[in-house]
Amino acid sequence: MQYWLLKSEPETFSIDDLAAAPNKTTYWDGVRNYQVRNFMRDAMKPGDLGFFYHSSCAIPGITGIVKITCDAYSDHTQFDHKHAHYDPDSDPQSPRWLMMDVKLQRKLKRIITLDELRQHQKQLPELLILKRGNRLSVTPLTEHEWKYILTLE
DNA sequence: GCCAACGTTGGC
DNA sequence: GCCAACGTTGGC
């Protein structure tokens, strides 16, 4: 069992959008970063849990808990030349980019803000979201980080 | 293989 | 809108 933090811009797709989706499930498309692709390909497994994080917004922070519900599979948007994430260099026989499905487990009772996480940096010294320059849209968390953050709720 | 230019992310 | 950080691209 692994733990993850998944960033989403709420103006594009928010925790409430996920709550309103059929079966509270969506596919996580648009990853165009090799490190994140490799996480999805090599490390993320069905049953893994993730924090749903709102980024690039007024109050960045953790808003919910999701479950990974399948292994990574080809992200179809890479072959759609009308799509913003179209990748003309990806070979359909060997797709470069992957996505997976996530299902909402529950919304948090309240948002655990980035600001609040920073106040607990001593207890979370390796939390990647708090590191300078961290821009990965998917990052792993340790079990300790996962459980500690949940006690803040 | 180096590295300058450029694009993107994301907090503020 | 600004800008620091970082990944990618492409000329050499």
A136 touches strand B (CB under 7 A): yes
Break chain A into its structural domains and give their ranges: 3-152
Tens-place pLDDT, residues A70-87: 999 999 999 988 888 888
Question: Is the C-beta of residue A57 closer than 7 Å to nucleic acid chain B?
Answer: yes
Record the tokens describing residue A31, joined without a space.
């990853």
pTM: 0.93
Nucleotide nearest to A30 (CA to C1'): B8
CATH top class, domain A3-152: alpha beta
| pLDDT of the residue at A55 | 96
Residue A30, both tokens: 């648009």
Which 3-state string (H, E, C) describes A15-84?
Answer: HHHHHHCHHHEEECCCCCCHHHHHHHHHHCCCCCEEEEEECCCCCCEEEEEEEECCCCEECHHHHCCCCC
Window from A12-16, A76-80, A146-150 with minimum mean pLDDT: A76-80
Calpha distance A45→A60 (Å, rounded): 26
